[in-house]
Amino acid sequence: MLGVADRLARRWPAPMAELALGAGAWLRARLREGRAFRRLSAELARTEQLSATDLEAWQSAHLRAIVRHAYAHTVYYRELFDSRGIRPADIRTAADLAQLPILTKADLRERPDDFRARRGHGWPVFVDGTSGTSGTPLRVRRDLAAIVHEHAHVARQLRWAGWRPGQRRAWLRGDLFLPIEQSRPPFWRRERGRALLKLSSYHLKEAHLAGYLDALRRFRPSLLQAYPSSAAWLARGLLQRGDSPLPLQAVVTSSETLRADQRTDIERAFQCPVFDWYGTFERVAAIGTCDRGGRHVVSDYGLTELVPDAATGTHRIVGTSWANRAWVLLRYDAGDRVDPHGLPCPCGRAFPTVGEIQGRQDDVVITADGRRVGRLDHVFKSAERLREAQIVQRRPGEVILRFVPEAGFTVKDRERLESAAIERLGPETRIACEAVSTLERGPRGKLQLVVSELSSEERGGIAQHVDQEIRR
């Protein structure tokens, strides 16, 4: 429903497209920013100031409530608790969660309907899909309360970055609101009624760089929200051109791993700090950057466990969400790893600090016309009969969609997959499909969504410093 505005914007000329985007933004605001949002935002302003003891008690109260709900309304947890002789009252604190197994995406895909709550959740319920960075498709259910919960936490992250409602923002993420085949600017649209400039992340090529930078200078946003790879592309282009910096108040990155070299270039080009936000599509854990630069586990988002992984020397991010009562996940392995050794933060919040987040090291794909497109998990979102999938690039303008099909996979499913890739990479990019029995994983157990075998010269300086251990 909410994607209709983007689809209309792709078909209509700029003035009408901006009206469509504005209408979509108005509808989203009506759903997300009402009384529940304001009430939760006020609560978050209070919980971030709690002492460690009070925060632990607050978490435990929410944990007990979601455990009772899970047992009462889901098939999976009633069977699990009964088979192990566990009562909901036995799980009162974070330490008690060890009685439950750690869930994986494979568990969810095997019994997706058994995690669905039959009653006791809010309405409406939205169903969305993701491949995640693992390339394994998954359909997720969320009630409206869970969406408001996510939105309120992201809004607080923006507040930590210094942004306030009414200030101008620029947006450079995965929204597909322009035709991929469009070859002339503008590659951006304003959302009417909101101080927001949306820039396409699917048209980033050298010939368009000056236009992107000029659009930002004319719009004068105080904050940029972007994928790290997209923000870094802009920043490096600006620095290489020798242009004067483009000062912003902050850049907020998310959805990809922010590398140290990307952070350095972004901060130099935009003369501001970078605030990185980590979240999961399943909405079980979040890690944010506070106003003093500390990287914090967001303890009032959910109950996050950092489980040691002896094989890698890192810790697994395992999350329990109390916000989404439509589809309950207790102790879910998010599939990412983190260095748990964070530096003390002078902000005074009781939220634990962590070091670098491992994972999400996606490469970009180079299209036939030289565009650099990242975060291509959208290609697999509509796939329902894929066990897992991956994009391989060996030459610019050509990609291989390598996938493990499930029973019932048809020619139409293959055509739908190719169509989704063409929609984002353009008709000039050659798409080949390759069905395989298994996809190889790296030493960290991650399946890289995009495997680029291009040289650094072919990649044009983007993603040249990806962790080699992860790439092997």
Q: In the chain, what are the domain boundaries?
A: 1-32+162-272, 57-159+278-360, 365-471
Nearest to 228 by CA among 354, 353, 336, 362: 362
- H or E stretch covering 23: helix 14-32
pLDDT at 2: 56
- Are 1-32+162-272 and 57-159+278-360 equal in CATH topology? yes
43-61 pLDDT, tens digit per residue, is: 999 999 999 999 999 999 9
CATH (residue range 365-471) = 3.30.300.30
CATH 3.40.50 for the 1-32+162-272 domain, yes or no: yes
- Residue identified by tokens 């750690």 is 102
275-316 pLDDT, tens digit per residue, is: 999 999 899 999 999 999 999 999 999 999 999 988 778 899
pLDDT at 326: 97
Helix, strand, or coil (residue 379):
helix
- Residue identified by tokens 């949306």 is 198
394-422 pLDDT, tens digit per residue, is: 999 999 999 988 888 999 999 989 999 99
Residue type, 425: L
DSSP 406-448: PTT--HHHHHHHHHHHHHHH-TTSEEEEEE-S-----TTS---
Share of the chain above pLDDT 90, in %: 66
* Assigned architecture for domain 57-159+278-360: 3-Layer(aba) Sandwich (3.40)
pLDDT at 163: 97
pLDDT at 462: 38
What 406-415 contacts at long range (C-beta under 8 Å, 24+ apart), as own/partner pairs, is 409/385, 409/435, 410/385, 413/383, 413/384, 413/385, 413/386
How far is Cα 91 from Cα 63, in angstroms, rounded to an integer? 8
Q: Quick check: 439 and 450 in contact, CB under 8 A? A: no
151-190 pLDDT, tens digit per residue, is: 999 999 999 999 999 999 999 998 899 998 899 999 999 9
pLDDT of residue 133 exceeding 80: no
Helix axes 75-84, 52-73, angle to 10 degrees: 100
425-457 pLDDT, tens digit per residue, is: 999 999 999 999 888 765 444 567 788 888 867
365-387 pLDDT, tens digit per residue, is: 999 888 888 768 778 876 778 87
